[in-house]
Chain A
């Protein structure tokens, strides 16, 4: 292997003097402890390396050894129900090795290579296989079948296949001869460089929504499977809380949760909650379908930069098996800051706010890896990206938020004022948007009836109208408004408090099926229509309010269990009866 000597050290950036044979983005080992690093700059008289671990104690003259391949991750069974750092080192194994504090240069394999899996072979000698084709399957967890695929860039004829049975990670279960006659061993794992997206057969349209059970998202600003969404919000507005809710309840098969430069206590909370939480569909702990990547804010900044790519590569791997994968990145701003920090160390010319000029292209590259695709093996899979953004000073005009907006089609703007009033999820219904309506409305109409889309349109019109009226109310008070406008304000309050606001800690309210969401809208709009008839007859609105119906609807999210949709008809009857008495 090619080995050189360290010349200079500046924070996480190390330089080597003279001409080297390193490749750009090659992974290297730095120093006596073999710290992991990556080549990020080459000139004819020096090479620049970013180091993924603390550089304290490195000396000029220490060795830098090349590995000959770019920064890659090991893909195979054992990824699920595991927690890794930013460069796919399992944190539990590191804990066993070095205790509660992470020491440097930990020598651990990414995946457990001693565990035996029950492998079922899908190929026989003589079979022609292409890259991406499935050659064996094994149960990775109780609910997820792991499908082993021929590495995307290899194809040929199977010349040897082991019988079904128990194998370890690096055991060879089949051999493949490619067109040039070279033999490739197929084990239970493969490697893939994290900065390269995995190949696909073709991109499909994003026509199926990702159901999250969160009313404000599913109904008002839905996201499609294979789409990308941004959740921007200042601190304390509930970004992390929203991400947790989505990770727990969305109907993806696999969840990749990337804690990128966030709090350590938060990660331990995720670990604890997810292992206690039972997935309603499978009855198994949530961790069976989840992989966590934790690179907390005090862990090395270069690994933080890599964690996003590690996460998306794992997501793509499961997508290629034909699963719907959702990746939560919390927070992409920390990742952008890592870029800025490293760029600063390299003394690159800064663009806006000190961020490097290539920030937009990096963001675009990342979000472009979302999508619903037809895989190389012919099945359908998707990667949905939900990225949190932490704007500096809660100012949405800063570069990360603005650039993210350009590459995501769903924007869930979190609002400080709502968070202060403890209105959660604090997604502002005026500033947020979703561009997926055209793609997925046919799905809603087909599965829930045409009225779902119609109800949504009416609800958002009412909210918009309320927002306009509030401008007036702020100046002159609500008393002077005519009754029909007062009615809009009243019904909008029911929508805000009774519908948009959702209690993550309430057993029934934490996840609400689409059918109930639709029924809630139906009842609210029914009350609005009936009340309008009354107001048109010049009966004062105070009489309608006195009926207590508005308060009752505000609480129906708690009063009507998810399992009893028939109760909504009772509500409709009650409204009709009480309103009739007024006439």
Chain B
């Protein structure tokens, strides 16, 4: 028996309260039909006896206390899935908007997913060659990792993401088993278009699933976008053995949507008004990366987030950093000097790197070289701050060497063309060449054997 509940009890932001509802289940999807013929979807977020609170994805505009009929669908939010989904364009809630018709589902899955059992995970150790010196050498991306780009408004994170997609070579991946899931959350139309065009130019568009929630789209739908995207990614990776690269932009818009939803629900706010469960909520997204036993596929995530006011201690980058396995941090100062990609090396990190590089993966000297580059570049920063007080002229000879090394490092190592694809040997050799401008005694992170082999100062 299907029951229509007529009217609502209360409307508040994106939430409506309906009374007298029987047999409802938590997180169930409901359909709301307005008298003017439009249909909307909502999700049950709170139940108190027969009184339920429903979050309406498309917003509550035009809803009055009397003009709505609500019907329970009997299931939680599900994403229709089929291998044919590759190449499609969907809206923020996973419905096709490319005019090619509905997805004929092979199966449907709850978009909230279920946590991967830690004992079923395979510890990721296979590196992804991105062709970008800083990333490959110093914060190596590993298949199955979640490595966000911490950026700021106006910085070149989109270009970097596009370049990674274009150049990424995953070992074991071929044309047929590699695909990209791109989730846009609250981005502008032209940014989405930029991605689409870039994918087209680099010939991967037919391997991309795009989910678009643009900045003008309903904010509540935005909280679903990454969930739909990751459900699709998990399905393709773990049921169809594909290597899936998930790009999510912009996580800041997502978190803000969550805050808006939380405050309209009247929840007690945590830091900066974000809900107290922001960490758990972000974790429920980021943790959906990895590899599992019994499947050949992998889900690798590159979320992009713009740090409000470039502040890395803001709750969104802060909590993200605690969940993800490292981060690629971009720096406005470097960008201002015209360097691309403006990767700020010191605060960047890849936690999974140490087991995916070295002998058998990249080259035996990789880890030592990376440590030395980090250590030496940290000294460059010290020397620069000293120079800003006493002037470069007054520096000791060794500090001057460091200043020079810093210049070379940024000009030649960090700086790289948008279409320049450096292979790992090239990047490592370049690292040694730059280190060779420093006196041998300064290289205290490298043992003599490697120095004899690679140091050319």
Contacts and interface: CB of A to CB of B under 8 A. Distances in A.
Nearest to A475: B389
B315 to A, nearest CB: 7
B48 A265 contact: no
Contacts of A197: none
B216 interface: no
B57 interface: no
Contact of A476 (B120, B352, B354, B390): B390
B99 interface: no
Contacts of A17: 49
Given A8-B49, A58-B25, A236-B326, A263 B349 contact: no
Q: Taking chain B's interface residues, is the majority helix, strand, or loop, or is none over half, making it mixed?
A: mixed
A57 B76 CA distance: 7
Interface residues of B, number: 86
A299 interface: yes
A392 B115 contact: no
B313 A395 contact: yes
A473 B292 CA distance: 52
A390 B319 CA distance: 10
Given A263-B325, A354-B268, A421-B374, A268 B76 contact: no
Given A7-B48, A265-B144, A354-B271, A301 B118 contact: no
Report which residue of B117, B323, B351 has the largest number of chain A beta carbons within 10 angstroms of its beta carbon.
B117
A423 B376 CA distance: 11
B46 interface: yes
Given A10-B46, A265-B352, A340-B270, 7 more contacts: A17-B49, A102-B114, A268-B123, A297-B283, A299-B115, A417-B378, A505-B354
Interface residues of A, number: 80
A373 to B, nearest CB: 32
Nearest to A93: B119
A60 interface: yes
B270 to A, nearest CB: 4
A347 B268 contact: yes
A443 B250 CA distance: 56
A451 interface: no
Contact of B27 (A56, A61, A83): A56
A417 B323 CA distance: 21
Interface string A337-351: 110110110010010
Nearest to B47: A9
A56 B110 contact: yes
B275 to A, nearest CB: 8
Given A297-B283, A344-B270, A272 B123 contact: yes
A83 B119 contact: yes
Contacts of A101: 113-117, 120
Contacts of A337: 276, 279-280
A264 B121 contact: yes
B447 A265 contact: no
B348 to A, nearest CB: 9
Nearest to B145: A265
A235 B318 contact: yes
Given A59-B23, A294-B118, A474-B385, A393 B318 contact: yes
B26 A236 contact: no
B314 to A, nearest CB: 8
A120 B118 CA distance: 35
Interface stretch (A223-231, A550-558, A560-568): A550-558
Question: Which 3 pairs across A and B sit closest by C-beta, in order of nearness?
Answer: A393-B313, A297-B283, A421-B378
B444 A422 contact: no
B24 interface: yes
A58 B45 CA distance: 12
B256 interface: no
Contacts of B270: 340, 344, 353-354
Contact of B269 (A100, A234, A354, A551): A354
B114 to A, nearest CB: 4
Contacts of B167: none
A255 interface: no
Contacts of B113: 101
Nearest to B267: A344
B404 interface: no
Contacts of A321: none
A298 interface: yes
B39 to A, nearest CB: 23
A271 interface: yes
A505 B357 CA distance: 13
A94 B116 CA distance: 11
Given A100-B120, A100-B238, A298 B287 contact: yes
19 contacts: A8-B48, A9-B26, A57-B27, A59-B47, A60-B49, A91-B119, A99-B117, A235-B318, A263-B287, A265-B121, A265-B123, A271-B123, A296-B115, A296-B283, A334-B279, A344-B270, A477-B386, A477-B396, A505-B367
Contact of B444 (A83, A267, A340, A554): A554
A289 to B, nearest CB: 19
Contacts of B121: 264-265, 267-268
B277 A95 contact: no
B290 A265 contact: yes
Contacts of A301: 277, 280
Interface in A228-265: 234-236, 259, 261, 263-265
A394 interface: yes
B375 A421 contact: yes
A573 interface: no
B10 to A, nearest CB: 16
Interface string A107-141: 00000000000000000000000000000000000
Nearest to A98: B117
Interface string B333-350: 000000000000011010
B119 A95 contact: yes
A9 B268 CA distance: 17
Contacts of A103: 114
B313 A263 contact: no
Contacts of A60: 24, 47, 49-50
A103 B267 CA distance: 28
A18 to B, nearest CB: 11
Nearest to B120: A100
Given A297-B287, A298-B115, A341-B280, A392 B110 contact: no
Contacts of B103: none
Contacts of B238: 100
A297 B25 contact: no
A422 B445 contact: yes
Interface string B259-284: 00000000111110001110110011
B86 interface: no
Contact of A341 (B24, B276, B323): B276
A503 to B, nearest CB: 9
A100 B114 CA distance: 10
A3 interface: no
A275 to B, nearest CB: 11
Nearest to B262: A344
Contact of B49 (A7, A11, A479): A7
A297 B320 CA distance: 12
A55 B26 contact: yes
Contacts of A473: 386
Output the residue of A101, A265, A420, A497 with the most chain B CB within 10 A. Answer: A265
Contacts of A23: none
Nearest to A58: B26
Contacts of B271: 353-354, 392
Contacts of B287: 263-264, 296-298
Interface in A266-318: 266-269, 271-272, 294, 296-299, 301
B284 A298 contact: yes
B376 to A, nearest CB: 9
Interface in B21-35: 23-28
A162 B325 CA distance: 53
